[in-house]
Amino acid sequence: MKKVLFLALAAVSFSFASCDSKTENAQEAQAEQVEEAGEAKADAMEEAGNEAGADSVENATEVKADAMENAADAQDAK
């Protein structure tokens, strides 16, 4: 019985800890859009035969999207 109660308490704790603000969710959605747009551009470049450029664009886009997500997480920590 104690195990069940402990697991239920742990589940509730995780659900409260994972709540994000609307601002954070919006910023993370923007980061996802940036990443998707970069991937689409990289795919087009790769199809055109520019694989090195595609890799560069994809890497730069991932770095930018990660930075945006980190900024969103930092906003919510305040």
**Beta-carbon neighbour count of residue 42 at 10 Å?**
22
Tokens of 18: 């994972």
pLDDT at 27: 86
pLDDT at 1: 52
With a cut of 50, which residues of the chain have pLDDT below it?
Answer: none
pLDDT at 60: 92
Q: Where are the alpha helices (DSSP H) in 48-78?
A: 51-77
pTM of the complete model: 0.64
DSSP 5-28: HHHHHHHHHHHHHT---HHHHHHH
Phi, psi (rounded to 5 degrees) for 19: -70, 130
Nearest-angstrom CA–CA distance, 72 and 67: 9
